[in-house]
Amino acid sequence: MKILLTGASGQVGHELARSLRPLGELVAPGHAQCDLADLDQLRAVLRAARPNLIVNAAAYTAVDRAEGEGALAMRINADAPALMAQEARALGAALLHYSTDYVFDGSSAAPYVETDTPAPLNVYGQSKLAGEQAIAAAGIPHLILRTSWLYGMHGNNFLLTMLRLARERPQLRIVADQHGAPTWSRTVADTSAQLLGLALAGGAPWWQRHGGLYHLGSQGQTSWAGFAEAIFAATGTACEVIPISAAEYGASAPRPANSRLNCARLMALCGPLPHWRAALADCLAGASASGAVGPE
């Protein structure tokens, strides 16, 4: 089993580089060796490596910047995954890909299920939806895992942003009218490895029966302001959270008010996913044991 992993320097990819290792031989070309914006280079890398499984954790994830870089976001988030699917078909390989809560417009009152109709509000969400659709149309064994509000001690994310800003300011104005489940990147990577373990044991019949689209996020829900408060409480950080509306914050990309994902389909296969507060505590406990965070 040869696995090709993209995006190994990102939040999820960093965790996958560890969690996928027991499953086979892992090759993880970086951005410079395998640029998803360069489709000729991507094709050449895939043809040279001849993996049995492609795990695509690379993406264009700068949500606000994407509003002004639509063509680049589409190439990386849609055209590159489409090419991966095409090459996977030629190689007889499977493809594991990630997508986002931002494919939805957030107007539903309930957590979203996989069969709900996507209607992205922003360019990033549009590009991610186009990537999903290209993979689903390719007729290859695949998994598309939609997750939300990722954080961890590695990479660019809301947890690290809050800890940094709290060192600079006594108060932070944080959006309180967008709701979702903060998800630890390690939860995504470990659950991905668990699913792939089942797939490798089950072979083609497993992919036919269980392949496709899954929602994968923490259980429970909060707002960004609630998440910030939990981060400060858990780390003993003295910073006041002032709840504001998304309209007051005025980000360039609109974001869904409801980002909640119903993960029942995945939990039926893999067992319960952690509550977001429990996962946050686990993440911070590991960081504090390593001296990365803690009260000053």
Instruction: Name beta bridge partners: 215.
Output: 146
**Interacting residue with ligand TDO among 100, 185, 192, 235 (CB under 6 A):** 100
6 versus 218: smaller Cβ distance to ligand NDP: 6
Residue with token string 């390989």: 93
How many helices (H) and strands (E) in the chain? 12, 12
CA distance 274 to 288: 20
Minimum Å distance from CB 53 to ligand TDO? 23
By CB under 6 A, name the one of 102, 104, 214, 276 that touches ligand TDO: 102
Q: Is 178 in the site for ligand TDO (CB under 6 A)?
A: yes
How would you list the strands of the sheet with 2-6, edge to edge? 25-27, 2-6, 53-56, 94-100, 142-147, 212-215
Q: Considering the rule CB under 6 A, would residue 175 count as an interface residue with ligand TDO?
A: yes
Which parts of this chain interact with ligand NDP (CB under 6 A)?
6-7, 9-13, 31, 34-37, 57-61, 76, 98, 100, 128, 147-150, 155-156
Residues numbered 220-249 forming contacts with ligand TDO, rule: CB under 6 A: 224, 246, 249
Among 35, 101, 132, 229, binds ligand TDO (CB under 6 A): 101
Nearer Cβ to ligand NDP (7/211): 7
Q: Which amino acid is at 20?
A: L
Backbone angles phi, psi at 273, to 5 degrees: -95, 150
Task: CB nearer to Mg ion: give 63 or 228.
Answer: 63
Query: What is the end-to-end Cα distance of the chain in Å, rounded?
Result: 46
The CA distances from residue 140 to 4, 84, 94, 144, 203, in Å, are: 16, 11, 7, 12, 13
- 124 is an active site residue: yes
- 36 makes contact, choosing from ligand TDO, ligand NDP, Mg ion, none, with CB < 5 to 8 Å by partner type, with ligand NDP
Catalytic residue among 98, 102, 112, 124: 124
Question: Catalytic site residues?
Answer: 124
